[in-house]
Structure 1
Amino acid sequence: MPIDAKLRALLDSLPPAPPLDQVTPDQLRANVQKMAAGMKFPDLPQVRTQDVEIAGPAGAIPARVYSAGAAEPAPVIVHFHGGGWVVGSLETHDPFCRYLCGLTQAVIVSVDYRLAPEHKFPAAVEDAEAATLWVLEHAAELGGDAKRVFVSGDSAGGNLAAAVALLLSGKATLRGQLLLFPATDGAPEEYASYQSNATGYGLEAESMRWYIGQYLAGEEQRGDPRFAPVRASDLSGLPPALVMTGEYDVLRDEGIRYAERLTEAGVAVTHIHYGRMHHNFAVWPLTVAALPQSFEARREMAEWVRQTAQ
């Protein structure tokens, strides 16, 4: 199935990005922030927000809480933004979190975890775990229900959400995990999508290799389940999962493989594959409001949350 024509035109309209090895992480972050700030986001839900700080293993972790003002304790979604563990922030993913809050009527807690390369693996995972444990403890104060807490993430954030679900298995109860176009492995050579989607579809294969190199402190970490959850020896007992993948995504095959492994382990999995879309189209600022399919994908997220939260 060919890539969506509107998406293809959007990708073709973008100026060529400088090679990642020719920009600093701070320059890359500034570029992403500028791009996000210049986008228009129609029909953003009117939700309440509050910036908070969460005690983390290396200091305060900034977070933003979104609330639709539900009368009863609402489900809570702890969201970890994408950006290759190097870029992304509360601001870049603010529109997505507002859309998700409005659609689900859940409390959304967006977490500004530490970024690489200044903070190598497992810093981001440690922050993500600490933030989730804090939410489980303080859910009622946020207007949420501690028995209906989800972890969520897009791309690298999906990697963190999957890792947190693994780390908390047997220690704390999560209602579900939203894994949106997730990175689940560190072995690009094992997945055909790294070849078929290497260039021309937004996230490129060499860019992903660069992000992994920025995040990891050594090659021996590639097999660590906190980085590569697909390599965990036991996935049984994990909370229900929504896994979204896109045909024109370098991360397509590892996302599919993780959905398969979860299913094999007896986990309840809803896997939605978008045959004409690319990486993270439903979340990333450039496409979060530019494509009809983005709105539809978020409606599917919300429906899954509603059903799983019952």
Structure 2
Amino acid sequence: MAATTEDIGLAPEWMELEKKLGGRPLLSGDTFSMRAQMDGLTGVLHQAWGGMDIPGVTTIDTMSDSNLPVRVYLPDEALAAGKKVPLGVYYHCGGYCIGSIEADDVLVRNLCLESQTILISVEYRLAPEYVAPVALQDSCDLTEWAIKTASKWGADTTEVYTIGGSAGAALAVSVYLKLYDEGKATPIRGIVSLSPCWVHPDKVDDYKGEHKSFINSNGRLPVIDANSMISFYNTYKAPLDDKYIFAFNYENFNVIRKIYIVAAELDPLLDDSAIFDRKLSEQKVNHKYKMYESLPHVFWLFPLPQSKQFFKDTAKGIKYVLS
């Protein structure tokens, strides 16, 4: 927990939350320190949300063919109607180094309820134990497994979307692009990318003048700053020119059917999303972009009134990419 409570234009509801938490949450230090911080914060947030049980959502914990944990979220109302429903494959946040299914549980439960789609949250392996491209390859394998088993859960295998937050938001894009190039993306109708880290700050090329949110974030913004992200990138060890892990390097985004991108104003990754939005516009890709003012990175994991609105908005984003 950072000591600072500097007024940087954060929403009043966020400042009130900081008072309750006793400071400004900021992940810092090495990977193992940040893992411990994230685990502690996850426990606090689960309590603050009042527990994880949400009426109308059933969860099943199981293992994939590759022996990696997954959690299946089932919308009771839609499935009770006896029809097949869309399937989302969810990749958690954490810079490829921290985080888990548990950390993003509140988000996925609420999205399952609001969107009335099945969601399968996947547990890819993390750095430094497993460096690049393991997280991406695990996520591709788990996505193929999710599609293969979709009918078991009552999902429609022709209506699939990828979705994630932060590093998971980058994976939602990367998985689609890699599977597309391998001829395996046919069932995937669209992508929902929530505050993606999709470009390395040392490889923004002609967009360098537009990538200011990252370098201006140190020690000021909640949750993560540039130091946190550099630690993640250095630990994951992905080549800066990798066209999948840093999808900024991918040439033709017209292969994407539809994509919904979310950004937060007080997030070091704000300009990642803004540049992504611009590139998609330049290539005339079907997409929508939504930015939440006065809020930080992954604010939706925190018990805020705006988080509840975010769940509703993102459910509409899911509907958009499937339409």
TM-score (norm 1): 0.89
| Separation of aligned partners in 2, 1:198 and 1:102 | 36
SS of residue matched to 1:158: helix
What is the match of residue 49 of structure 2?
A: 40
What is the match of residue 128 of structure 2?
A: 117
8 A Cα contact 1:223 1:231, kept in partner: yes
What code does the residue aligned with 2:249 have?
R
Distance change (3 Å), C-alpha of 1:253 and 1:32: same
Of 13, 17, 21, which residue of structure 2 is paired with 1:6?
13
| Count of aligned pairs between the two proteins | 299
| Separation of aligned partners in 2, 1:280 and 1:17 | 12
Displacement after TM superposition at 1:25 (Å): 5.8
Displacement after TM superposition at 1:19 (Å): 4.0
8 A Cα contact 1:186 1:227, kept in partner: no
What is the match of residue 319 of structure 2?
A: 306
| Separation of aligned partners in 1, 2:32 and 2:159 | 41
What is the match of residue 225 of structure 2?
A: 204
The CA RMSD over aligned residues, in Å, is 2.3
Distance change (3 Å), C-alpha of 1:211 and 1:32: farther
The reply to whether residue 214 of structure 1 matches residue 267 of structure 2 is no
8 A Cα contact 2:213 2:268, kept in partner: yes
Please identify, of 292-301 and 43-52, the stretch whose mean Cα deviation from structure 2 is larger.
Answer: 43-52
Displacement after TM superposition at 1:118 (Å): 0.7
Displacement after TM superposition at 1:216 (Å): 1.3
The reply to whether residue 79 of structure 1 matches residue 93 of structure 2 is no
Please identify, of 31-40 and 263-272, the stretch whose mean Cα deviation from structure 2 is larger.
Answer: 31-40
TM-score (norm 2): 0.85
The reply to whether residue 137 of structure 1 matches residue 144 of structure 2 is no
SS of residue matched to 1:88: coil
Distance change (3 Å), C-alpha of 1:169 and 1:18: closer
8 A Cα contact 1:32 1:87, kept in partner: no
| Separation of aligned partners in 2, 1:111 and 1:19 | 25
What is the match of residue 5 of structure 2?
A: none
Tell me the alpha carbon deviations over residues 178-210 of structure 1, each in whole angstroms, 9 at most, x when there is no partner.
100111111268320013333322111111111
| Separation of aligned partners in 2, 1:307 and 1:224 | 29
Q: Which runs of 5+ in 1 are unaligned?
A: none
Aligned sequence identity (%)? 26
Q: Which runs of 5+ in 2 are unaligned?
A: 1-7
8 A Cα contact 1:11 1:201, kept in partner: no
Of 19, 27, 30, which residue of structure 1 is paired with 2:36?
27
Of 143, 148, 168, which residue of structure 2 is paired with 1:157?
168
Of 249, 254, 270, which residue of structure 2 is paired with 1:236?
254
The reply to whether residue 249 of structure 1 matches residue 267 of structure 2 is yes
Matches within 5 A, 1:187-202: 187=201, 190=208, 191-202=211-222
Distance change (3 Å), C-alpha of 1:24 and 1:273: closer
Displacement after TM superposition at 1:308 (Å): 3.4
Displacement after TM superposition at 1:136 (Å): 1.9
Q: Give the 4+ runs in structure 1 shifted more than 6 A.
A: none
| Separation of aligned partners in 2, 1:136 and 1:177 | 15
What code does the residue aligned with 1:265 have?
Q
8 A Cα contact 2:27 2:37, kept in partner: no
What is the match of residue 184 of structure 1?
A: 198
| Separation of aligned partners in 1, 2:279 and 2:305 | 31
| Separation of aligned partners in 2, 1:25 and 1:18 | 6
SS of residue matched to 2:48: coil
What code does the residue aligned with 2:97 have?
V
SS of residue matched to 1:99: helix
Displacement after TM superposition at 1:50 (Å): 1.0
Distance change (3 Å), C-alpha of 1:18 and 1:197: closer
What code does the residue aligned with 1:197 have?
S
